[in-house]
Structure 1
């Protein structure tokens, strides 16, 4: 029976020695910070032209995370690759032979990858916030203002949960191509499109990305967005439920199917 500490060490070795997983984390950090900074600078330069309705609900904290739309996709890729690479390479058979306790195997992988995603997510959210507020100048805000710290910490947690959700989906589908072929269009296109379609948007607001992103808003109707039937923590809770369901689904497939 493999010791939990040994399995954790093994998973850490796998992740840090595979270039693709390392670079996806780096990409999540760089893309989010760079794109957010650019959009904050653009916003600051055009504040005078902003419509009155948007100015009234201007949320400088949320603007800081505007690059998250692309950064989260890198987290999706990271989560998928952490799980599916072993299937595509055939190493899953060796891994399960070494660690036959499948719950220990999967949840050790989730713990290590989730910890890395959390570190990168928090570093990204805090740096993105500070840089964004510096670029916004007098239109910016500070961590001491009401609900701002919650939004900044929530942004880091949001990135982490995106990675964990993707790990669960990849564990169910056991294929990089299939997992990315579903998740990337879903988060990058389908979710956003449905969020503005009448009637469909009432369902889309319960998607993991739509619900979870509410944690990053300081103002409930920030930037003219439609009010949701839940608050920031309610939306975050909905996303957590999606993540738990995906991880349990991934474990169910791993437990019942051969490698």
Structure 2
């Protein structure tokens, strides 16, 4: 089957599954709503902040506070896109129709990545503008130095979270197992490693912690991270490439 036909087939599969549409919608709503709420609360509490906190205040990053929960929905989307076919047994039919496993996998990843990128960028821009509206006089403008980079970076971050989840799901094949590993990894392990002084230097190289640097405009005063926004995004990309490579190798070697 020609690559174009495979891509069309994967697009039809993704848009016809209600769960993928719902998870992307949830990512949008949660990210924007929570970002607006945290921005409004921050404006209310701004005058009570310490001098140190005011110097590190990053209005752009505040508007992305909802990403912490929004990425949860992107993880679910990434897992479902891949593992739905395994859980229903349709993977055998798909691989019979497209024997070239590399073509099958990367067509699926390409379509899902494109969709995640569109949703991620739209969410990031809306979260920024509505978040800044909530911040009132403390807001940043899209034309301020590095702000546009951070806003575009927010969309890239959400996309990469989804693609990383796809790679893990290809390796594990089971939606429950994939989510059972990814959820604790991002919401427990990463936070613990990043906030405990003994493991902080390890935590900063995990995909979510490294990737989120792209959304920062103001560097916190006590931040000694050895890489900048683009360096952090590059680290996250390496994690994603490793996950996809692992998925590709295992898909080639084993039966459906």
Q: Same fold (TM over 0.5)?
A: yes
What is the TM-score when the length of structure 2 is the normalising length?
A: 0.99
The residue aligned with 1:253 is 250
Which deviates more from structure 2 when the two are superposed, residues 47-56 or residues 10-19? 47-56
- What 5-or-longer segments of structure 2 have no aligned partner? none
Cα shift readout 1:60-119 (whole Å, capped 9, x = no counterpart): 000010010000110000000000010000000000000000010000000000000000
What is the TM-score when the length of structure 1 is the normalising length?
A: 0.97
Alignment of 1:16-35 (within 5 A): 16-35=15-34
The residue aligned with 1:3 is 2
The alpha carbon displacement at 1:45 in A equals 1.0
Structure 2 residue 101 is the aligned partner of structure 1 residue 102: yes
The residue aligned with 2:123 is 124
Structure 2 residue 63 is the aligned partner of structure 1 residue 64: yes
The residue aligned with 2:158 is 159
Number of aligned pairs? 256
Q: Distance in 1 between matches of 2:131 and 2:8?
A: 37
3-state DSSP of counterpart to 1:65: coil
Alignment of 1:211-250 (within 5 A): 211-221=210-220, 226-250=223-247
Q: Distance in 2 between matches of 1:109 and 1:241?
A: 20
The alpha carbon displacement at 1:22 in A equals 0.7
Q: Distance in 2 between matches of 1:110 and 1:147?
A: 30
The alpha carbon displacement at 1:193 in A equals 1.3
Q: Distance in 1 between matches of 2:184 and 2:238?
A: 21
Q: Distance in 2 between matches of 1:227 and 1:148?
A: 21
4+ runs deviating over 3 angstroms: none
Q: Distance in 1 between matches of 2:52 and 2:238?
A: 34
Which deviates more from structure 2 when the two are superposed, residues 83-92 or residues 48-57? 48-57
The residue aligned with 1:143 is 142
Q: Distance in 1 between matches of 2:107 and 2:51?
A: 50
The alpha carbon displacement at 1:225 in A equals 6.1
3-state DSSP of counterpart to 1:146: coil
